Amino acid sequence: MAQYTRISGSVGLITLKNPPVNALSAVVRQGIVDSVERALGEPEVKCLVICGQSGKFCGGADIREFGKKMTGPPLIPVFHAIEAAAKPVVAAIEGIALGGGLELALGCHYRIAHSKAKLGLPEVTLGLLPAAAGSQRLPRLIGVPAALDLITTGRHVTAAEALQLGIVDQVTDHNTVDAAVKFALSVAGQSLDARRISTFPCPRLSNLDAVFEAAMQKVRQAARGAIAPVACVQAVRAAATLPYAQGLEREKELMATLFTSGQARALQYSFFAQRAVGRWSMPSGARWDTSKPKPIRKAAVIGLGTMGRGITVGLAQAGLSVVAVETQEKQLMEAKQAVSGMLERGAKKRGVSPPLGNISYSSNIKTVGDVDLVIEAVFEDMALKKEVFQQLSAVCRPGTFLCTNTSGLDIDDLASQTPNPELVVGMHFFAPAHVMKLLEVVYGPRSSPQAVATAMQLGKVIGKVSVAVGNCQGFVGNRMLSPYLSQANFLLEEGATPEFVDQVLEEFGFAMGAFRMSDLSGLDVGWRVRKAAGLVVPGKPARMRQGCRYSPLGDLLCEQGRFGQKTGSGWYQYDKPGSRVAKPDPWLHSFLEEYRARHGLVARRIDHQEVLERCLYSLINEGFRILEEGIAAGPEDIDVIYVLGYSWPRHRGGPMFYADMVGLTRVLERLEFYHQAHPDVPSLQPCNLLRKLVASGTPPIHRWREVIKKVHSQL
């Protein structure tokens, strides 16, 4: 609702009340209409202030209303009524003014913001554009280039930047409502002609075409197929070239195409999924709301390679004390230098001082005796990790949580090395660990709910989106990647090139195709895992392992020292080791031809559809197996992992959402087709849960959990 009160005798105060973010639901919109009407009708009221309850101005339109039949007054006329008011209306912006929230403020005559407030038009991140006149008012207020930046990126700006851009009129460190009331009284009675943004001409640009061409090129490059950023540029162009009323029409037209699009559905699903994963549960029945985390003030990181350094930075930046341990003095010194550099660069960007003092470095594991939690990040070698866990058990005080950053080793096996396996969980970060938002929190059969809650909470503290998953080889993300990569390799055997496979996957929206990604991560990583799994055994029939099809192509490249970017060659060639520009490699093409000839394989023409379906549906099929086994609690968990950790295009929601969009019947049919053609590839065999979902009438994704529950209860 919106509550109307009179303060200081002559100020009408409208307070938006719709926790948690005062979104503009139908009731709130109606409340604003009624309150404005009332205030304008009261002769004693000289001016109005609009604020939000609980220190939050407004988080925008109520996204939960989007899928439903719209009721209540539409936003544009509400904001026009405010702008047309004969008494000054001041927005008192505390906390947030986002999307429709900022558009409401732009309908007001003045804007006062608290210094800690964040403002922005993030509609693009939900597959939309600011369609309550935001795309038309903002360029008129701050000019086309700045408006294009804010609207196409959806980034939030601080109050200080908003002041500099001209979005707000004043910033205060004190009570914002008090400041707004004082301000409103000071301008009461003054002419409002120059305060109605919709009447402003859009600031002229001499190079208008060039600006919009450049903006369009920029968004198309970054969008990876997303349509909203393109529509945002078109809407701002309308503001720059058309009278306000016509610009509004264009905004409405563009919004109509976005509003019902699959991309908007996917992005809004993704928004809620990222919040839903925080409400985790385990098959044992333990849950987020019944498991209390322990506060972590001091942590240790063991192993300061690529991952350990990033994890140390993340912990220190969040204000924790960190003991950073590396056994070799030389590596320790190098790590210290690298970590300090990362902290200094990060602090410079944020305009704060680097928290260098939060970290103490040591080459002696005994120095971790007084920490609350340890994150082990030594080489991916089970014997080594077991040794480290035994040492930790001996030196850590009782109750210390022991976490491992392993990419896929058995958490329970590691836990068995300690007298308190309930304190052991996986904390699987993604590289670069201080940047990537995803954290897989992996619980073993003996991990306590408190250990899981503590790791999930620590993830939150350091700014990660944490997803709780069960223990299995590769956990969720890497396990699903395995059949995807296998299919990509099989396609090469059958006649495709790495360039073609990557092109199809990149057109789908991945930042990098399977082969460019493997070259970046290092081919040796998978090689080591396959060796440890006994798959790389000289003398074995080359293309079969344990009765299943196996492609040794990656192993053969590694035997040649082709580890990817770091060695200057892999699936592609590079100018020099470390270079990032992948070029097609004639050597690799002849190697593939020789390989096919050696194995009696005849190259055939492979089309886009086959590449996409085999790579994506095999990955999705593994996702269904993961759900069936209870390794992930719901499809949202898998989708968040893929969007945040594996560059799955956000506007496609994630693999499980994509399967829902394609249609489960279609996915099942195509898997059956490919499995018939490749009976020696078990990952193409449709999993039981997928069949059950189809048999139960292909329910929409938000109802899959009901079927999953039934499957689990039958086990």
Tokens coding 511: 């930042």
Beta strands in 126-218 (DSSP E): 157-158, 170-172
Residue among 14, 98, 226, 316 that touches ligand LNIPZVSO (CB under 6 A): 98
Residue 149, C-beta contacts closer than 8 angstroms, at least 6 positions apart: 155
Q: Which tokens is 277 given? A: 């994963």
Residues 388-417 that bind ligand NAD (CB under 6 A): 388, 405-407
Q: Which does 132 bind (CB under 5 to 8 A by kind): ligand NAD, ligand LNIPZVSO, none?
A: ligand LNIPZVSO
Q: Does the footprint of ligand LNIPZVSO cover residue 465 (CB under 6 A)? A: no
Nearer to ligand LNIPZVSO, 129 or 325 (CB): 129
Tell me which residues in 322-351 interact with ligand NAD (CB under 6 A). 325-328, 331
229 binds ligand LNIPZVSO (CB under 6 A): no
Q: Which does 431 bind (CB under 5 to 8 A by kind): ligand NAD, ligand LNIPZVSO, none?
A: ligand NAD
Partner interacting with residue 331 (select from ligand NAD, ligand LNIPZVSO, none; CB below 5-8 Å by kind) = ligand NAD
302 part of the interface to ligand NAD, by CB under 6 A:
yes
Q: What is the 3-state secondary structure (H, E, C) of 548-612?
A: EECCCHHHHHHHCCCCEHHHCECCCECCCCCCCCCECCHHHHHHHHHHHHHCCCCCCCCCHHHHH
**Residue 414 structure tokens:** 């590691």
Give the one residue of 12, 52, 99, 449 binding ligand LNIPZVSO; rule: CB under 6 A: 99
CA diameter of the chain: 94
Sequence-separated (6 or more) residues with CB below 8 Å from residue 40: 85, 86, 87
278 binds ligand NAD (CB under 6 A): no
CB 494 within 8 A of CB 611: no
For residue 203, the 8-state DSSP code is P
Q: Which two tokens stand for residue 405?
A: 């950053």
CA 699 to chain centre: 26
The one of ligand LNIPZVSO, ligand NAD, none whose footprint includes residue 405, by CB under 5 to 8 A per kind, is ligand NAD
**Among residues 59, 107, 139, 354, the one that binds ligand LNIPZVSO under rule CB under 6 A:** 59
Which residue, among 435, 553, 432, 428, has the nearest Cα to 486 in the 3D structure? 553
Number of residues that bind ligand NAD (CB under 6 A): 24
Q: List the catalytic residue out of 83, 94, 123, 628.
A: 123
126 binds ligand LNIPZVSO (CB under 6 A): yes
Binding of ligand LNIPZVSO at residue 379 (CB under 6 A)?
Answer: no
The token pair at 665 is 């019947």
The reply to whether 75 sits near ligand LNIPZVSO by the rule CB under 6 A is yes
Binding residue (CB under 6 A) for ligand LNIPZVSO from 130, 444, 498, 654: 130
- Taking a C-beta distance cutoff of 8 angstroms, is the pair 655, 620 a contact? yes
Tell me which of 377, 439, 455, 633 binds ligand NAD, using CB under 6 A.
377
Q: CB of 395 within 8 A of CB of 356?
A: no
Contact region for ligand NAD (CB under 6 A) — 130-138, 201-209, 429-437, 566-574? 429-437
Catalytic residue, from 42, 44, 94, 103: name it: 103
Encoding tokens for residue 55? 């220190």
- Contact between 63 and ligand LNIPZVSO per CB under 6 A: yes
Q: Which of 95, 107, 308, 314 binds ligand NAD (CB under 6 A)?
A: 308
Residue that the structure tokens 């052991």 belong to: 424
Task: Give me the residue whose beta carbon is nearest to ligand NAD.
Answer: 305
Q: Classify residue 281 by its DSSP letter.
A: B
Member of 260, 473, 665, 688 binding ligand LNIPZVSO (CB under 6 A): 260
For residue 616, the partner it binds in ligand NAD, ligand LNIPZVSO, none, with Cβ less than 5 to 8 A by kind, is none
Q: Is 123 a catalytic residue?
A: yes
User: What is the number of other CB atoms lying within 10 angstroms of the CB of residue 43?
Assistant: 7
- Token pair, residue 327, equals 């056994």
Return the closest-CA partner of residue 101 out of 82, 83, 75, 126: 75
- Contacting residue, 160, 210, 222, 256, with ligand LNIPZVSO by CB under 6 A: 256
The correct pick among 82, 267, 307, 644 for binding ligand NAD (CB under 6 A) is 307
Q: Which is nearer to ligand NAD, 372 or 376 (CB)?
A: 376
CA 354 to chain centroid, in Å, comes to 26
- Looking up tokens 């593939």 gives 592
Other residues' Cβ atoms within 10 Å of the Cβ of residue 482: 18
Contacts of 12 (CB under 8 A, 6+ apart): 4, 5, 6, 35, 38, 39, 42, 45, 47, 48, 49, 87
Q: Give the whole-angstrom CA distance, residue 66 versus residue 697.
A: 25
Residue 471 CA: distances (Å) to CA of 73, 224, 441, 442, 629: 50, 33, 10, 6, 11
Considering only 61, 232, 456, 462, the residue that binds ligand LNIPZVSO (CB under 6 A) is: 61
Residues 6+ apart with CB under 8 A from 596: 493, 495, 602, 603
Binder among 12, 31, 88, 122 for ligand LNIPZVSO (CB under 6 A): 122
Q: How far apart are the first and last CA of the chain?
A: 47
- Which of ligand LNIPZVSO, ligand NAD, none has residue 103 at its interface (CB below 5 to 8 Å by kind)? ligand LNIPZVSO
302 binds, among ligand NAD, ligand LNIPZVSO, none (CB under 5 to 8 A by kind): ligand NAD
| Torsions phi, psi for 325 (to 5 deg) | -120, 135
Q: What is the Cα–Cα distance from 180 to 48, expressed in whole angstroms? A: 9
- Tell me the window of 99-107, 515-523, 686-694, 695-703 that interacts with ligand LNIPZVSO (CB under 6 A): 99-107
Q: Phi and psi for 392 in degrees, rounded to 5?
A: -60, -40
Please report whether residue 255 would count as binding ligand LNIPZVSO according to CB under 6 A. yes
Out of 275, 292, 297, 583, name the contact with ligand LNIPZVSO by CB under 6 A: 275
Active site residue 103: yes
Least separation, in Å, of the C-beta of 630 and ligand LNIPZVSO?
A: 23
- By CB under 6 A, the count of residues binding ligand LNIPZVSO is 29
Distance (Å, whole) CA 282 – CA 452: 9
Q: Least separation, in Å, of the C-beta of 327 and ligand NAD?
A: 4
Identified binder of ligand LNIPZVSO from the candidate list 85, 113, 124, 131, rule CB under 6 A: 131
Is residue 123 a contact point for ligand LNIPZVSO (CB under 6 A)? yes
Q: Name the minimum Å distance from CB 328 to ligand NAD.
A: 6
Just list the catalytic residues: 103, 123
Q: Applying CB under 6 A, which residues contact ligand LNIPZVSO?
A: 20-21, 23, 59-64, 75, 96, 98-100, 103, 122-123, 126, 128, 130-132, 134, 255-256, 259-260, 272, 275
